[in-house]
Amino acid sequence: MPAAAAAIPASPSSVENNLNQILSDENASASSLDKLKQIRDLKDKIATKVTRIRQTSQGAVYGQVKEISPASLTLTNLKGEIQITLNSDIIVYLRTDTGRKESSLVKITTGMNVSVFGIYDESKKNLDPRYIYIQSQPVRVIGKILDIDKTGYTVTVKENQTTTLVDFEKYTKTFRFNLPSNKWAQIGFSKLSVGDFVHILAVKDEKEEDRVHAQKIYALSLLTPALSQATTTESSPSSAPAN
């Protein structure tokens, strides 16, 4: 009976191949672990960012400028005084009759009305400003309607010895006082009449001195329909007393 075959020792090349395979598997495992760690770190960063976003919120404040310095802006409104910290990244706009145009912090002066938009911190008390809108200072036109241009949507208002051309815009709100109900009712441009007494809040035109763009118009007919009807009845021949 032949003797059992002796174990044949592995060749050096075979041993080297096995070692390389083992090392390759270990490197693959290490690479997978690194990728898993990177994914976990990314998830943690996203979760942290989401938490911060939830803890902050956009906000806005409106008020009149009481004080201004290179570092801060103090506003006053019905809630009291509000301190705004300024920085060089703030974008400033000036509202005009045609929309807005870019401005700068140096254009802001005391007495102006401004709107500040930004991000509140976690305490919800401090606003980090991003945008400031300088509101155009309104002017008042008080007088009687002298002429109405139905096509150009303008009215000419006589105030003492001067006349002002008033543009009726898409954003203009118009109200007429209703005597029977003793209330102001909103109306359209077509309901304005020559002879109406008007009180107009508007912004000046950038090019023409005697022209404004109406924001709100309050109209009052000096002769109400009821009074006009009574006057007509009294003056008609049929209502005159018989001789």
Per-residue pLDDT tens digits for 16-27: 666 566 556 656
Residues 144 and 115 reside in one and the same domain: no
In a domain, 63, yes or no: yes
Residues 150 and 218 reside in one and the same domain: yes
In a domain, 238, yes or no: no
Q: How many CB atoms lie within 10 A of CB 113?
A: 17
Q: How far apart are the first and last CA of the chain?
A: 166
Residues 149 and 199 reside in one and the same domain: yes
Distance CA 145, CA 147 (A): 6
Question: Where in the sequence is the domain holding 177, given as residue range(s)?
Answer: 139-223
CATH number of the domain at 195, please: 2.40.50.140
Count of domains for the chain: 2
What backbone torsions phi and psi does residue 89 show, to the nearest 5 degrees?
Answer: -90, -5
**Boundary residue ending a domain (79, 108, 134):** 134
Residues 128 and 148 reside in one and the same domain: no
pTM of the model: 0.51
Instruction: Tell me how far CA of residue 164 lies from CA of 17, 187, 209, in angstroms.
Output: 98, 21, 9
Per-residue pLDDT tens digits for 25-66: 656 566 666 767 777 778 777 777 666 655 557 888 888 899
